[in-house]
Structure 1
Amino acid sequence: MDWGIIAQATFFVAVGLLAIVIAVYVFSTSLLGLAVERTTRELRERQEAQKKSTNHQLEGVRKSLDQAQQEKIGQEVQTLRKLLAELEGKLRKDEKDLADIPKKYTLPFTVRGGVLFPGLGFLLAAIFSGVAWSLANNITPVLHVFLVLAVASIIYGLYRLHISLRAIEEISITSEEAALKRTVEAFKTAQKEVEEERKPRLALSFFDPIPPIQTKSSESVRISFAIKLSKGQIAERATVVFLAPPGFDFITENNKWEKGRQPKWSTAYPEYARAELELGPTMPATSYSLLLTIKAPSSPGSFKLAYRLQCQGFVGHFEEFEIRVTPEE
């Protein structure tokens, strides 16, 4: 067996692996630097949440165990003790996993873990194999010792390099999963925004008179207003509802308006007079001009009336406006 060739091969393998270590470190730190930090933070948060959950379960089991011991329920005590032991073991594992996160995911990307440890192994292998190469012409036990040391150093360096590569793989997979998750969330957000933009929204504008409306007691006032789409393309089953305090009365000039009264138990303006009009099955993006006649009460004062617009996919809030009733002259 030509020990010189073996020593040469070992030397060049060690030098080649030493170059690979530097390349892997440069690649991992330049491309995965932010991913390492983000993944480490997410894993730490996940492990801390899991540890907190386990602690919470432990507290509950301990309380149940104390109660069972006081009540001397033997079978339940045994079951709870077994569960307590399992949770304590799980807690120890959670604490160990939490403590191992920096070692597992951060150390391989540092100079010490990513370069020094594997690089030192390959450097020693190159030195030992170089010495063995120089002793190849004189076969002695020392030659064999240096070759064994060189091979052992290569194995150690490969082990440390394997740790770094495995960490890179896990970080890459986790980063891809996180990126995919962020993409899905962004798509859902964008889809929700598009749906919100498509949802109709109605608006009402008073023309004549414009609130606050002035009228005399027991007189009727004609209110001119318009309803339009302020957002969206089509409103289905658009409806306008007017409410007036007791004493007011809606005078409808056609049978399209539906009159009524709010029930006593209603949380919105109980016992108010009610007038409702549906604008049709669909309402395009045009303005509807409408008239509504309201008869004022006999007693003067300042009164709050309200209206609400709604359609399929949109229910507006009650908007108030004021009518000031003055005494008859």
Structure 2
Amino acid sequence: MITEVTGIRRIRMLYVQLLYRCNFRCLHCFHGERLAWRDAYTYEQAAALLGLMRADYDLEAVNFLGGEPFLSEHLPALLAFAKRTLGLRTEICTNGFRITRQLSGCAPDIDLLRVSLEGLEEANDRIRHPGSFKAALETFERAADLGIATGATMTVTAANAADVVPLAALLQQRGVGQLKLHCLRPVGNAAAHPDLQVVDPVVYEVLYRRIADAGLRIEMIADEDLSPAADGAGCRPAPDTAVLDRIESDPRGNLTMSCKAVGKDAHAFTYDKTLGRIDYHPSALDELTLAVPDVVYSRV
């Protein structure tokens, strides 16, 4: 169905939000009130979606996230299915809170473990959860012991922009391979915390100078909307080629192609979890009709 409507024939990565449930209530979380919703993928539903994407769109990789993906009892089996049966590259995006025991059983099937952090301990624990910074560092240590490659993600806000470089330096010392920087969008919980929004572009200018001057070895990837020189240049039009970098499914089965549409119910496609098929539901406000641009990430 996606090919017939858009011309897209290949999708490189599928992001599967296994469930909304989470043990955190982060101030910037795009899920907002949906964190209380009980929608979730069963093993059979998620495995069927993976199989469909692999067969029909030559899927290369999957990223399991949530909510908190380690709260899903199906995560270990889905990792094994994706890795061993379908031959996919596997990633997890987690808050890293008290998951060290669970990592042991999953380790052989994880290609990359991404842990979300929002700066150094003070800023991170205020935005995310008390004790979450130390727990994340313990997770990185355990992952290193298990031979799991690691990365971190951080959403740049007015409260933590100054922490980017010192956090990157700390992660570099810990053997973390990459820090990925996201632009905060006023969706979900972030809409209720306008104090987190970066309103002065000088903040990004200073941030990029500090990164350039720091001489870091850790790979730094950033949403180009963070660049002070971007002025929208980091956006690309709605998909017009045969290859899509990523598509994301929420726990209800809704499929979103642009990161800028995630959390806004602007999807045009839905995976029917009961029938195991992708349906097209066009509307005047969907991401295709509105030509919602995707997010472009590049090395800093």
Query: Do they fold alike, i.e. is TM over 0.5?
Result: no
Q: Which has the larger radius of gyration?
A: 1
TM range (shorter): under 0.3
Higher helix proportion (structure 1 or 2): 1
Give the alignment's TM-score, normalised by structure 1: 0.18
The TM-score, its normalising length taken from structure 2, stands at 0.19
